[in-house]
Amino acid sequence: MTDSTKEQAADWSLSRRSAHAPGSPLVTVIGDGQLARMMHTAGIELGVTIRVLAGTADSSTAQVTPDVVIGDYTQRADVEEVSRDADAVTFDHEHVPNEFLEELIDSGINVQPQPAALIHAQDKLVMRKRLREMGAPVPPFMAIESVEDIRGFFEATSGNVCLKARRGGYDGKGVWFPSTVEHATELVEELLEKGTPLMAEKKVQLVRELSAMVARTPSGEVMAWPVVESVQEDGICFEAVAPAPNTKVELLRQAEQLAKDVATELGVTGALAVELFETTDEAGQPEIIVNELAMRPHNTGHWTQDGCVTSQFEQHLRAVLDRPLGSTAPIAPCTVMANVLGADCDPGTPLHQRMDEVWRRFPEAKIHMYGKGWRPRRKMGHVNMTLKEGQSVEELRTNARLAARYVVTGQWEDQQD
Amino acid sequence: MTDSTKEQAADWSLSRRSAHAPGSPLVTVIGDGQLARMMHTAGIELGVTIRVLAGTADSSTAQVTPDVVIGDYTQRADVEEVSRDADAVTFDHEHVPNEFLEELIDSGINVQPQPAALIHAQDKLVMRKRLREMGAPVPPFMAIESVEDIRGFFEATSGNVCLKARRGGYDGKGVWFPSTVEHATELVEELLEKGTPLMAEKKVQLVRELSAMVARTPSGEVMAWPVVESVQEDGICFEAVAPAPNTKVELLRQAEQLAKDVATELGVTGALAVELFETTDEAGQPEIIVNELAMRPHNTGHWTQDGCVTSQFEQHLRAVLDRPLGSTAPIAPCTVMANVLGADCDPGTPLHQRMDEVWRRFPEAKIHMYGKGWRPRRKMGHVNMTLKEGQSVEELRTNARLAARYVVTGQWEDQQD
């Protein structure tokens, strides 16, 4: 536990409650964001108890769960404490040091997914190598350990370089697109000096992004959700459309099979998101390339809460507990998720009034909020909407986007002042 | 607070947590059962904070919510404490003394539904009178204040008597069907002696039971869910089929309109269940008669969690906060809810193993558990299943019933040993 949280935690040890239902399985979730929060929503209905390691008492998950350990996931003792007696230990992010997890496993704790799988969601170079080994489609890449490395790679790719921090990047952070070889070498020099391990890969001629999600149990059962189109802006997902519209069945099948293979080959357990680039091959045909892996519920799977028989949060809990997986059948021909991202400025009206206005216009809008205060571009919630009879997918997408924007801006973007 | 809970509560005042999200509306729920628990599930996703008054620290709701006041709803101070600063105060049962609620209202607290409406869910005689006044279909009834009263009523109805405690009955408790005039007078004598206020009504020639549910806001918006058939055994609901199968559109419309009228006429806010008897009129046509009212989410509305755009738990929260109501459109042509009722004996296998076996056979089964220990016939959970393509409603009903039974017995009732 860090010094700064120690005093608070002293009070909080008193306030931790853990009156579990008789025989209720206990899942420890390391993390306190919206993913852990929504695991708790699913856990309540399943009769699965969630215990979280939260950084602060007012974090997204700690607000809504009784069994909270306040602590720091980079501190061995905190990770140990929250994991004690758990039927499974899982995560809402990939940043827990793997040596802690290895120690937990050695002491008999059931950690899911295991570090041997997790490493592929933590280190992009390890992931790229492993995927290439298994024959999955990846762009040309190399480790960047010197300015000579980047110079060579820049030349080899005719300047189509995507430079990445091997670890820790997300939502567009830790990714750079140097436009000149000078810019590239400067960047690499600076980053290596700071001790940032780097890799580079060939920039993909992107048509769009897809996401293929599956869940897998330790026993090896795998279930896939329909593949979605994921729309990004400045590296942050702001929309997911399920299933991916205007897509050949062949390509959807290929993406789904790829995600299943990755889960099995890497021994992933729980939810796995395989983020994909759709590009065009030499014959002009659509082709997919793996971008990133996430081993947990994922933003591109939020639509499953209102669009599928089994949500990713329920499935993740079932999977890490090695219980049978649920049907992933969609309940509508199309579901759209639009992220509620903090606007550039905080509108004057209260959040609940803005939600009300959205509900007045769209009584079918499912608004999910994370209990987070405003910050520009912060993921504060999401809106799910399913296709109604007579509605087009385009109309549905427009409505979901309008709704999500209104929640943060208090403005209808399709209406002039 | 009762003496017996005082010591426990002394510890628990330390353990109450209330780190609410900035600007999050706070709804106090008086009650700690599965209805309050599932309101919390809905509240998490809406960003609505739930605070409960719970009898015990390990009750169904207290297990899963951080902001819990341990206390007793028959104690004025406990009801006051839990209601402080709430944006709305609501209930998961009808047993809070109305004088406490009146006092809360006088002190400026927003109680929904209000005692003037609640009384019709608390006192069956008051309800019957009011419904008759507004022209709603009710059976012949009268107050029973003496053995003479029951003797007269027994004769007038040719012995078709249903005797009821005016207050406090539920799940078949507080209802008697005396078969002889002697039995009737004995019963009445005994009950009046105990101080039980009584009424009697003419026993209905029951074809089946229906339930019409609506939600209404203080501002007067009303939304109805599809009318369901509710199947009872020994006075306990064990199945709900939505929409009610093999029912004339006319009758469904009439039931829905009746529920809307009752909500508006009585000033109900939040969820309202109008439990109905279907009977046959003199011309042999189906006819409905009001049985009971419940002013809260109701067992016959659990199917909405997995069968409707907006669940009764979400809608109840939105309604008591006077926020716009959500779409009640069904997401499938038919949804069946089967109650998980405690079996006669506790099977040896752990609950989670039994759930797993259900999921293996029915991956589409949505199992909701309440965190309650086993007791014969106790409502421990429910199973929702929606109609799949090519499936008949009968098959769906059979599957849901098999699933719910297996959860408590560990036996498939369609398979011989």
Q: Are B224 and B213 in contact (CB under 8 A)?
A: yes
Q: How far is A96 from chain B (nearest CA, A)?
A: 25
pLDDT at A219: 98
B360 interfaces chain A, CB cutoff of 8 Å: yes
Query: Domains of chain A (ranges plus CATH)?
Result: 3-111 (3.40.50.20), 140-202 (3.30.1490.20), 208-409 (3.30.470.20)
A324 interfaces chain B, CB cutoff of 8 Å: yes
pLDDT at B23: 79
Give residues with Cβ within 8 angstroms of B358, minimum separation 6: B365, B367, B383, B403, B406, B407
Binding-site residues of B, in ranges, read 124, 164, 201-204, 209, 291-292
Residues 56-85 of A with CB under 8 A from B: 57-58, 62-66, 68
Residues 105-164 of A with CB under 8 A from B: none
Give the total residue count for chain B: 417
H/E element, A216: strand A208-216
Output phi, psi for B342, to 5 deg: -45, 130
Mean pLDDT across the stretch B83-104? 95
Q: Which chain B residues are Cβ-neighbours of A329 within 8 angstroms? A: 364, 388
Q: What are the E-state strand segments in B234-378?
A: 236-242, 270-280, 286-294, 335-341, 366-369
Q: What is the ipTM of this complex?
A: 0.94
Query: Please, which pLDDT band fits residue B168 given cuts at 50, 70 and 90?
Result: confident
Q: What is the pLDDT of residues A43-101, one digit of tens each?
A: 999 999 999 999 999 999 999 999 999 999 999 999 999 999 999 999 999 999 999 99
Decide if B332 and A327 are in contact by the 8 Å CB cutoff: no
Q: How far is B415 from chain A (nearest CA, A)?
A: 21
Rounded Cα distance, A308 and A168, in Å: 31
* Type of residue at B87: D
Residues 19-38 of A with CB under 8 A from B: 19-25, 37-38
Tokens of B347: 């099977």
Q: Please report where in the chains the tokens 């990714």 appear, as a residue.
A: A175
Q: Report which listed range, A389-403, B16-30, B224-238, is most confident.
A: A389-403
B364 interfaces chain A, CB cutoff of 8 Å: yes
Q: What is the pLDDT of residues A117-138, one digit of tens each?
A: 999 999 999 999 999 999 999 9
Calculate the CA A83 to chain-centre distance.
22
Q: Please report where in the chains the tokens 């809406």 appear, as a residue.
A: B46
SS3 content of chain B, % helix, strand, coil (to 5): 35, 25, 40
A180: number of Cβ within 10 Å: 10
Decide if B326 and A364 are in contact by the 8 Å CB cutoff: yes
H/E element, B399: helix B393-409
Rounded Cα distance, B31 and B96, in Å: 9
Query: Please, which pLDDT band fits residue A237 given cuts at 50, 70 and 90?
Result: confident
Per-residue CA distances from A150 to A123, A145, A177, A187 (Å): 19, 8, 12, 10
Mean pLDDT across the stretch B390-410? 97
Mutation site, B15, B32, B46, B64, interface A, largest A CB count within 10 A = B64
Calculate the CA B73 to chain-centre distance.
18
Name which of A63, A329, A360 is nearest B21 (Cβ-Cβ): A63
Q: Which chain B residues are Cβ-neighbours of A70 within 8 angstroms? A: none
Decide if B25 and A352 are in contact by the 8 Å CB cutoff: yes
Give the closest residue to A53 by CA, choosing from A92, A17, A26.
A92
Q: Are A67 and A50 in contact (CB under 8 A)?
A: yes
Q: Mean of the per-residue pLDDT values for chain B?
A: 93
Please check the confidence at residue A15 and state whether its pLDDT lies above 50.
Answer: yes
Per-residue CA distances from A130 to A114, A189, A331 (Å): 16, 27, 35
Q: What is the pLDDT of residues B211-229, one digit of tens each?
A: 999 999 999 999 999 999 9
The 8 Å CB, 24+ separation contacts for A189-195 are A189/A147, A191/A163, A191/A165, A192/A144, A192/A145, A192/A146
pLDDT at B22: 75
Please check the confidence at residue B13 and state whether its pLDDT lies above 70.
Answer: no
Decide if B371 and A21 are in contact by the 8 Å CB cutoff: yes
Angle between helices B115-122 and B124-133 (to 10 degrees): 110
Query: Please, which pLDDT band fits residue A6 given cuts at 50, 70 and 90?
Result: very low
Decide if A16 and B21 are in contact by the 8 Å CB cutoff: no
Mutation site, A58, A64, A70, interface B, largest B CB count within 10 A = A64
Q: Which chain B residues are Cβ-neighbours of A23 within 8 angstroms? A: 350-352
A292 is in an annotated binding site: yes
Q: Which chain A residues are Cβ-neighbours of B350 within 8 angstroms? A: 23
